[in-house]
Amino acid sequence: MQNDFPVIQDVQAADMLDLLSRYAQPGPRYTSYPTADRFVEAIGPEDFLRALQNKRGHAWERAQPIDLYVHIPFCEQICYYCACNKVVTKHKDRGVAYLELLELELDLLKPRLSEKTHIANLHLGGGTPSFLSDASISALLQMIRSRVRVADGAEQAIELDPRTVDAQRVRNLVSMGFRRISMGVQDFDPRVQKAVHREQSVEQVRDLMVAARASGVKSINLDLIHGLPLQTLEGFSKTVNSVVELRPDRVALYGYAHLPQRFAPQRRIHAEQLPTPQDRVQLLSLAIERFSRAGYVYLGMDHFALPDDELAIAHQSGRLRRNFQGYTAQADHDLIGIGVSSISHVGSIYSQNAKTLELYEQSLRQGLLPVERGIALNRDDELRKAVIMSIMCNGNVDFASFNATFLIDFRSYFDTPLTQLQKYEADGLLTSDESGFCLTPKGWFVVRTIASEFDRYLQADRARHAYSRVL
């Protein structure tokens, strides 16, 4: 079945408000399946080593590329909404000491890779990668290149905090090969910025974007967050207008999840200043409408891209994929993540490094890979992962292709979720026939809720919750 692009003009604003309030519930963003909260400690370094060994003997000998993610956990100051793994410090020397740990990890990995292993995508994330000096970033790249071949034309991406870089630094990073940058904006409203302890101006971001474009950066992403304290329709409208004027190639618009019990910095956010659920829907609705009218393609959940950006092109041609960085147009490769809390995905194993610097360092000093938890995908996981990714990325599911690939009868295997889909169909969010189902333009706005019907873990939790409420 063919799916249609989600185009805001096809959806009445009031209609959208209604469906977002009914269906846009908190839930996984499906950057992986199973999601990281399902990882278990039964998976350790030996499982990861086995996965590497299997690849070394097969795929990597055939010169299949890998992706490398490097986590730099340091930030100079805390943003109160933050739910990332980070270490807040002003001591720059901690960055230098951290490089030594990354080198130990790379040394442990190197003998497990094939001579032919090469990196197609290199991503520095955090935390704040630009916490490291240019000299340290250059040393890190050198350290990687001296151990693993980086393919000609490999994509190099880096997350930047506009408060910690200037135009010259951007030029330096471009000269090191970074052609994709992503910057956190969240909201330009000064009241909101104060309430979340992250103050930066439109001019700061504009200067960096101008420098980046002039020196050859090919893609710029800006992150926004809706649902922050003191956000109003008026203030957020100005923010969205400013972002439209800045014209980044991509915009990611995340929803703030207030979980102060889990994330200590969020305890400094005053809950009474948070927008109501109804307000949140209006903020999201405003942003979707404004970006769509400005010519951005809505990719279905929290991403927008200009029509000539490779994400939008991949979306149109059915080649979009999802990984831990969100939507990507890159091919599906094994992912090796290094650094504290980094996640790797090699073969059928997800593995995650220790989440504290202390445990991460302890393992490395003992000569052990610092894997702390993970999950080994069984056949059902692989199948559901493929279904969820097909919904999230292409907006459709073709039963015959799943039947052929997984040797199942889709309709009987997924009898329960397919029954659940009937309510979405009745609301005009998807259409179905004997061959499969596909989202309508309206359905794209609640794509992850629809995908979650195929999430075995989430559905089991919901069933347990319903059961305990009944009893």
Interface residues with ligand SF4 (CB under 6 A)? 75, 78-79, 82, 84, 86, 126-128, 161, 184
H-run or E-run covering 64? none
- What is the Cα–Cα distance from 184 to 161, expressed in whole angstroms? 6
Q: Least CB distance from residue 57 to ligand SF4, whole Å? A: 38
| Cβ atoms of residues 321 and 385 within 8 Å | no
Q: Is the dihedral of CA 284, 285, 291, 292 positive or negative?
A: positive
- What is the Cα–Cα distance from 45 to 374, expressed in whole angstroms? 10
Q: Least CB distance from residue 163 to ligand SF4, whole Å? A: 8
CA distances (Å), origin 24, targets 114, 178, 206, 296? 44, 35, 32, 21
Would you say 51 or 79 has its CB closer to ligand SF4? 79
Q: Least CB distance from residue 99 to ligand SF4, whole Å? A: 19
Query: Which amino acid is present at 28?
Result: P
- Paired with 237 in beta bridges are none
Report the 10 Å Cβ neighbour count for 427: 17
Q: Least CB distance from residue 197 to ligand SF4, whole Å? A: 9
Would you say 161 or 189 has its CB closer to ligand SF4? 161
Instruction: Report the candidate in 123, 133, 122 with the shortest Cα–Cα distance to residue 164.
Output: 133
Q: Classify burial at 379, counting beta carbons within 10 Å of its beta carbon; exposed 0-12, middle 13-18, buried 19 or more.
A: exposed
Q: Least CB distance from residue 75 to ligand SF4, whole Å? A: 3
- What is the Cα–Cα distance from 126 to 14, expressed in whole angstroms? 38
**Planar angle of CA 145, 147, 150, nearest 5 degrees:** 40
Reduced to 3 DSSP states, what percent helix, strand and coil does the chain have, rounded to the nearest 5?
A: 45, 20, 35
Q: Least CB distance from residue 92 to ligand SF4, whole Å? A: 15
Beta-carbon contacts of residue 305 (< 8 Å; ≥ 6 apart): 249, 250, 251, 296, 297, 299, 311, 312, 315
Q: Least CB distance from residue 228 to ligand SF4, whole Å? A: 12
Q: Least CB distance from residue 164 to ligand SF4, whole Å? A: 9
H-run or E-run covering 397? strand 396-398
